[in-house]
Chains A and B, each alone.
Chain A
Amino acid sequence: MTPPPLTQVVLKVHSRCDLACDHCYVYEHADTGWRSRPRVVRDAVLGRTAERIGEHAVAHGLTAVRVVLHGGEPLLAGSAVIRRAAEALRAALPEVCDLDLRVHTNGVRLNRAYCELFDELGIRVGLSLDGDRAANDRHRRFADGRSSHPQVLRAVGLLREPRFRHLFAGLLCTVDAANDPVAVYRALAELEPPAVDFLLPHATWERPPERPDRLGATPYADWLLAVHARWEADGRPFAVRTFDSVHRTLSGLPGLSEALGLEPVDLVVLETDGTYEQADSLRTAYDGAPATGMDVFRHSLDDVLRHPGIAARQAGPAGLSATCRACPVVRSCGGGLYAHRYRDGSFEHPSVYCADLRTLIDGLAARAGTVARAAPSSVDVAGPGLTDAQLGELALGLGGPETVRSLARSQLALTRAMLAAVHGSAGLARSAAWELLTELDAAAPVAVDAVVAHPYVRSWAARRLTGDPGAGLGPLAELAASAAVLAGRGDVMTVPVRDGTLHLPTLGRLVLGGGVREARVTGGRTGWTARTDDGALTGPGDPRWQPVRRIGSIALEDVDPQRAAHRWPVADRLSDTAYAGWARDLRAAADLLDRELPDYAAGLWAGLTTITPLRPGPDGHDLSSAARQAFGAVAIARPRAAPTLALLLVHEFQHVKLGAVLDRWELYDRTDTRLFEAFDLSPRPIGSLFQAVYAHLAVTAFWGTRANAGSPTARSRFTHWRALTDEAVDLLAGSGALTPMGERFAAGARASVDPWLLPRASREQPGDGTGRDRPLERARS
């Protein structure tokens, strides 16, 4: 079996540290490799490292790579080195591969200048902090014994400033069972981190962890369970990777770190001298344990993949001891962190934390009431399909109203399944939000569907299921509250207030300001009310209420925090003047599309539910986006002219339609890593080529129709896009990567483009363009 590619690189930019923490695995445990390494990474190493990562990304068609700048203490390397590392990495990666760049620091040197640099370079920051001062001082001190706590708090303070808040990735807290778990939890919670992880101190069977008799047989589990109880009681104010991992693995989803779960570990460590190492934590096992004998100058990342130590951590259950394989909770613990299994020269043992892990997992399962569940075979998760005729319409790049509505019904089924998976993997003993949603699903399905079909419900659920720590559970209560409002039965839902704002998806937001933590929303027959925890009663008449505004039935979404699902920054709440401008332009664009591109417009009006305004592009460039996980929405920076808006709408909605098709049918070989050049863009993978072709079927038709009306500008653009689309269709059809359904769509694209290649007199538009459904009609009249 081909090993999965490496997508995570820990890049050591400095091999020394300005703290002398006595629990540090780099300097205080078995491995002594740091002694012989250069202090600062050399430029030649940075450059070659970036090239190696870039070539690996190209060879494996990677769409994202995470690099963690690490140490020692990485900030000791200085801002110039960090800048060179970031720039070299970005330059080496193909355009289609996102770089998730992070730095993990002890915080001592983090200052405003560094924060500004990280903001500029897009580097997110994780900090190590072991809790309150007493807890942190137990280990995290300078060499002369001074506390590092004040410096770290100052660093966290910087990251909490609104300007830098988006850089704050979270806190890592190493557990010391002798610390007060509640005091540690409270100290961390006061800092309002977006995420926390509690790390078990590195240990092996040969160097076991501290276990004072007075703390019982499983002190680490007991400590974590005490924190968990507090975290639950507080309403889970931030993500905790350990707890989320256990909840997820108990329900069959992957864990979130190499410490828990059976997922393959796909990371490599690069030292300051350019040598590759296995997991950093192996330093705790024995001197030289992480070594691979390879380096960036002589070896590729593919070479590293073949190293037995890397392969061992990708083997899943087969890489575990017989004891672990037979254990009922192996799906959750995965044998624990690889390094913690070491004994007598082998890692084929249970973790030295085995008893703690079992107690923790069983404890969390008991609290959540988790039971093993068989998947009901009768559940049609994917929902209704499409007829062959509807697929034929879509293959041509079209799709009338009924076809697009069928896609929407299919999408709703997918979102409902995702919501169920979100709830099922949350480890909630009881969820009032879920109970209300399921009750309304039976009693008022129209209301539930109206909310669940909102495009950004799926994007939130998808983020949650893929382990994004920023996707908390708050939206579940918001969805239930919105459904309750629409149902109008008098149901009550308590909703957490986030950043001073009560969000009711599809309805709007109430800007309450600081100090309010939650609101009880009641959806009555004649409207809704919200009783906030400061005792105030409010409702839609409150001047702080910002409703979602609509143009016809299309929402101009500028309040839902989940709308930031697009590749460009979304606009803040629009002024009344800006909204009026959008309304005017959208009506003009709709008139144009109905008149000039009716075959595309009919499906567009049946499926477009949401336009999300984007911030203006640099230099006035047009910006637009569709997100695969947000069916029905397009995001657009308001262009200067209504015809441009019409073009962007029809272009982006092509992506929306094709994305919905791809959710149900494989159109191409997803393992094909080749890149294709088309539309004068940088080389793209087959999926991007498919999307570009599909969108430009509409673009060609748009300019062709306008050219026919006699516009010289349109004629030159038509000629341009027609030629590029023609070439790209050939490239797609001849790619050798298409499935039979993909070939059907490629043939449809050819059938759609060909008429535009004929002389004008003999040209006919493809498709039958059945039906008209124009929700803007009422608004225009």
Chain B
Amino acid sequence: MEPDIVVEPDRPPQGTDGRPALADLARADAGELARWLELALPGAGARPVASFNSGI
């Protein structure tokens, strides 16, 4: 992988070996994934709160 190259398919990413496939990741519970990502994604799995029902 070389994620800094966004749109140049002629520059292949490196290091894809051994990483979890998207299909494998999708077998995980989304809440579990969000908790693992808590540092990167505060609010999704850590300390969510419920919104007011009578407003949108």
A residues at B contact (CB < 8 Å): 4, 7-8, 10, 25, 66, 68, 70, 102, 104, 126, 169-172, 195-197, 199, 241, 248, 251-261, 263-267, 279-281, 337, 372-376, 378-384, 404-405, 408-409, 411-414, 416-425, 434, 437-438, 441-442, 445-455, 462, 465-467, 486, 488, 506-507, 548, 550, 553, 555, 606-610, 629, 631-632, 662-666, 670
Least CB distance from A436 to B in Å reads: 11
Distance, CA A374 to CA B13, complexed state (A): 31
Provided the pairs A172-B56, A261-B50 are in contact, do residues A380 and B4 lie with their beta carbons within 8 angstroms? no
Could you tell me how many residues of chain B have their Cβ less than 8 Å away from some Cβ of chain A? 49
Least CB distance from B50 to A in Å reads: 4
Distance, CA A523 to CA B24, complexed state (A): 25
Q: Which of A252, A448, A450 is in CB contact (< 8 Å) with B32?
A: A252
Distance, CA A424 to CA B29, complexed state (A): 7
Instruction: Enumerate chain B residues within 8 angstroms of A550, measured Cβ to Cβ.
Output: 7
Provided the pairs A373-B29, A420-B26 are in contact, do residues A257 and B53 lie with their beta carbons within 8 angstroms? yes
Query: Which residues of chain B (13-56) have a CB below 8 Å from chain A?
Result: 13, 15-16, 19-34, 36-37, 39-45, 47-56
- Chain A to chain B: the 9 pairs with minimum beta-carbon distance, closest first: A252-B31, A453-B3, A254-B48, A420-B25, A375-B32, A424-B30, A251-B30, A663-B40, A425-B30
Instruction: Enumerate chain B residues within 8 angstroms of A66, measured Cβ to Cβ.
Output: 51-52
Distance, CA A408 to CA B50, complexed state (A): 33
Nearest residue (CB) in A for B45 is: A253
Least CB distance from A632 to B in Å reads: 6
Do B3 and A632 have beta carbons less than 8 Å apart? yes
Do A10 and B20 have beta carbons less than 8 Å apart? no
Instruction: Enumerate chain A residues within 8 angstroms of B40, measured Cβ to Cβ.
Output: 414, 663-664
Distance, CA A379 to CA B53, complexed state (A): 37
Provided the pairs A379-B28, A420-B26 are in contact, do residues A465 and B41 lie with their beta carbons within 8 angstroms? yes
Least CB distance from B31 to A in Å reads: 2
Do B25 and A381 have beta carbons less than 8 Å apart? yes
Do A252 and B4 have beta carbons less than 8 Å apart? no
Distance, CA A507 to CA B6, complexed state (A): 10
Do A450 and B7 have beta carbons less than 8 Å apart? yes
Distance, CA A417 to CA B38, complexed state (A): 12
Distance, CA A607 to CA B5, complexed state (A): 8
Provided the pairs A384-B15, A608-B4 are in contact, do residues A252 and B34 lie with their beta carbons within 8 angstroms? yes
Distance, CA A448 to CA B15, complexed state (A): 14
Q: Which of B37, B48, B51, B55 is in CB contact (< 8 Å) with A417?
A: B37
Instruction: Enumerate chain B residues within 8 angstroms of A421, measured Cβ to Cβ.
Output: 28, 30, 33-34, 37, 44
Q: Which of A126, A263, A409 is in CB contact (< 8 Å) with B50?
A: A263
Instruction: Enumerate chain B residues within 8 angstroms of A337, measured Cβ to Cβ.
Output: 53
Instruction: Enumerate chain B residues within 8 angstroms of A453, measured Cβ to Cβ.
Output: 1, 3-6, 13
Do B26 and A4 have beta carbons less than 8 Å apart? no
Do A195 and B56 have beta carbons less than 8 Å apart? yes
Least CB distance from B56 to A in Å reads: 4
Do A70 and B55 have beta carbons less than 8 Å apart? yes
Distance, CA A263 to CA B46, complexed state (A): 10
Do B41 and A462 have beta carbons less than 8 Å apart? yes
Nearest residue (CB) in B for A7 is: B49
Instruction: Enumerate chain B residues within 8 angstroms of A418, measured Cβ to Cβ.
Output: 33, 37, 41
Do B44 and A466 have beta carbons less than 8 Å apart? yes
Instruction: Enumerate chain B residues within 8 angstroms of A455, measured Cβ to Cβ.
Output: 6
Do A405 and B52 have beta carbons less than 8 Å apart? no
Least CB distance from A391 to B in Å reads: 15
Least CB distance from A89 to B in Å reads: 16
Instruction: Enumerate chain B residues within 8 angstroms of A454, measured Cβ to Cβ.
Output: 6-7
Do B24 and A376 have beta carbons less than 8 Å apart? yes
Least CB distance from B47 to A in Å reads: 6
Q: Which of A70, A263, A553 is in CB contact (< 8 Å) with B48?
A: A263
Do A281 and B53 have beta carbons less than 8 Å apart? yes
Distance, CA A197 to CA B54, complexed state (A): 9
Provided the pairs A408-B4, A437-B22 are in contact, do residues A449 and B53 lie with their beta carbons within 8 angstroms? no
